[in-house]
Amino acid sequence: MNCPYCSSPDSRVINSRPSDEGASIRRRRECQNCGRRFTTYERAQLEPLMVAKRGGGRQAFNPDKLLRGLLLAAEKRPVDEAALRAFAYSFEDEVGRPEITSEDIGRRAMAFLRPLDDVAYIRFASVYRDFDSVERFLEEIQGLRESSAGPESEREKPVE
């Protein structure tokens, strides 16, 4: 590691310790030439998860973008924000392959939201599936009703 003060390539490690909850290592170094001390951080360089977009392009997965969509869908709903963050930031680890389609990301997000909150699910689905009419909304809502309705379901009884 070159010294940031004198650019000498000779430095020695004085102290090492985990940082960022074990995601990196903080190293305290001393330059052998000028004697000044400086800190470096070592982090594993992983290949990013690539997203194959509908239009044919590819880009690196961004958990902040997924989280933003989830937060918008769950805005003013009784959904735990920590659960949304955990899903978005662990998403890349759960995929287990180097590339995923944007459609697959949307399907996984919808499957995650569905048991949490019907309204957040419908909001996310409306953007993901690009609803172009009221009929499409109604079809999706009817599908929700049919899948969650049991023989004695209190949720589906009409209000008189």
Beta strands per DSSP E along the chain = 11-19, 24-31, 37-43, 50-52, 58-60, 99-101
pTM of the complete model: 0.60
Residues in a beta bridge with 29:
13, 38
What's the mean pLDDT when you consider all of the chain? 85
- How far lies 37's CA from each of 9, 27, 146, in Å? 13, 10, 66
Place of tokens 């919808």: 110
Q: Which residues contact 95 (CB under 8 A, 6 or more apart)?
A: 49
pLDDT for residue 45: 63
The whole-number average pLDDT for the span 1-25 is: 89
Domain boundaries, the chain: 11-43, 50-148
Residue 152 pLDDT greater than 50, yes or no: no
| Residue-wise pLDDT tens digits, 57-84 | 999 999 999 999 999 999 999 999 999 9
